[in-house]
Amino acid sequence: MAETQTTFIDKSRTFFREAYAELKKVSWPTPKDIWGSSVVVLIFVTIFTLLTMLIDFLLSKGISLILK
């Protein structure tokens, strides 16, 4: 049992050591990059929302004209 715990502890330490080493290699985005990406996403979401609202409006008017 003690051998299993030691193996688990050693594997855990190795995992966290390697994960930390990989995180040091990551190139994190600058705040300017984050703002730019956020603006692009917000613009896309706004356009997509407006298009969805327009299509919904047109379909509901079309269906109400057909069913009258």
Question: What are the residues whose beta carbons fall under 8 Å from the beta carbon of 29, sequence distance 6 or more?
Answer: 37
Task: Specify the pTM.
Answer: 0.59
Find the domain containing 60 and state its range: 2-67
The tokens describing 18, both together, are 């390697």
Q: How confident is the model at residue 68 (pLDDT cuts 50, 70, 90)?
A: confident
At 35-63, the pLDDT tens digits run: 999 999 999 999 999 999 999 999 999 99
Which residue, 63, 64, 60, is CA-closest to 52?
60
- Residue 13 corresponds to which tokens in the numbers above? 């330490």
How many domains does the chain contain in total?
1
Which of 3-7, 17-21, 24-28, 31-35 is predicted with the least confidence, judged by mean pLDDT?
A: 3-7
